[in-house]
Amino acid sequence: MKVVESIRELQDQIKHARSLGKKVGFVPTMGSLHEGHMMLIDKAVEDCDFVVSSIFINPLQFNDIDDLGRYPRTFDADSKLLKARNCDLLFFPSIDEMYPHGQDAQTTVSVPVVSEGLCGDSRPGHFDGMATVVMKLFHMVAPDASFFGEKDFQQLAVIRKMVGDLNLPFDVIGVDTCREESGLAMSSRNHHLSAEEKATASNIYRILSEISAAIQDGAKNYLELCEKGNVELAGLGFEPDYLEVRNADTLAPAAESDQNLVVLAAAILGKARLIDNLRIKLA
């Protein structure tokens, strides 16, 4: 695996791969990699001939400077993981390389509707910053396919809408959430959890599963189900942010007639803000 830090080096390597007729797959990350990221790399290796990943902790998508400072930085371990899973090229740019004119002067991308509500309410500016850096990376790499985890369901919806609205000529492929044995969704933010908190954190998945089962059994009062779930989360020591049932295709609040649903949760436990979701497909 080759590591490059400049856009020019990145594009030279991709140009060479394309000259050999290779299909380019892209997995953008912010580092602190875990098995969930590796599943994205594995899928990219399976579907493509030349796999590019990036590690860039994007300050533009953090509305809390302390949260940015706490984000884990584990480049050496990350690069070893990527190499072991047959990633071909790792792009590791500096902030100056990504934002040469400064962040305040940066043109930004805003994706309406799907970025509103949920994490969009609790993290103002987050999705604009995320969409902006992903669009920049898409232009730099010009992949044939890009790969994202479904754990960040709203993020994936924002990226899919952005790619569709701006007519970008490649596929956005979602990969199933990777979970620990307890059901806890793997996340870089799990590093902030103590052993006791990590055991408690698995209750998010349990509560999502119970809501999903109730809906599949015919429950239609989604608000009541979610209110009950929030009360339970609070009783376990979480600070609930949201727990909602949405239309999985549009992210609009779920209607009783919807058949393709997703139940999404975000809650703070200790120093970690955790998110998770479960898809629900009704007959």
User: Which one from 16, 34, 37, 126 is the annotated catalytic residue?
Assistant: 37
CA–CA gap between residue 218 and residue 20 (Å, rounded): 54
**Helix/strand/coil (H, E, C) string of 21-63?**
CCCEEEEEECCCCCHHHHHHHHHHHHHCCEEEEEECCCHHHCC
Say whether 37 is catalytic.
yes
CA–CA gap between residue 81 and residue 86 (Å, rounded): 9
CA–CA gap between residue 220 and residue 222 (Å, rounded): 6
Q: Which of 280, 262, 221 is nearest to 117 (CA)?
A: 262
Question: Residue 264: left (phi > 0), alpha (psi -120 to 50), or beta?
Answer: beta
Q: Looking at residue 249, what DSSP letter applies?
A: T
Residue 107 · residue 99 · CB < 8 Å: no
Residue 167 · residue 135 · CB < 8 Å: no
Active site residues: 37
